[in-house]
Amino acid sequence: MLNFIGNYFKQKKDKKSKPAVVVSHPKSSQYTINYDPHLINELEGDHGKLVELYGQIWSEGFEKNDYAKTASLISQFKSDFQAHLLTENVKFYVYLEQSLSKDKHNLEIVREFRTDMNEIANAVVKFCKKYSGNFNIALIQQFKDDYATVGEVLTRRVSLEENSLYVLYQPH
């Protein structure tokens, strides 16, 4: 049931982490968001915490038939997820769109990614809203399938961002 979570952490251990390089660049009036040498590590750290929290929703809440705990963990997950999205949308995507403004091909790819990621985010938030209140028989019966679907979508999103998109985040 939770293979997507275990696979995420296995992939993270297999990756060799690179130390952050601090690069100083002169400010340009054409850019509203500056390069942050720590941003990718911060976003990847968020991913790890979100995936771990998502696993706890199952293991510490639903699996133990503790629906109040499940709802509480889902509310926490939603809050953390939305904070991550804000950081990503403001600092990451805006910077990428600025820095790739003259590279129409990669800019279009980034914009498509952003649209796709926003659709995934909407599905995750919809799941959180559905299950962050009181559980009834119908919700309990639907939860397992919904949880698995959202978990797979979430880990796919994380993997795509970390392996395909974050590599584009470079100093001007």
Look at residue 78 in the predicted model and tell me its pLDDT: 98
Residues 109-153: tens digit of each pLDDT? 999 999 999 999 999 999 999 999 999 999 999 999 999 999 999
Residues 2-51: tens digit of each pLDDT? 666 666 656 665 555 454 444 444 444 566 899 999 999 999 999 999 99
Cut 0.85: pTM above it: no
From residue 48, alpha-carbon distances to 38, 109, 138 in Å are: 16, 25, 31
3 state SS for 25-83: CCCCCCCCCCCCCCHHHHHHHHHHHHHHHHHHHHHHHHHHCCHHHHHHHHHHHHHHHHH
With beta carbons less than 8 A apart as the criterion, state whether 116 and 102 touch: no
Q: Residue 166 above 90 pLDDT? A: yes
With beta carbons less than 8 A apart as the criterion, state whether 87 and 46 touch: yes
Average pLDDT in the 143-170 region? 94
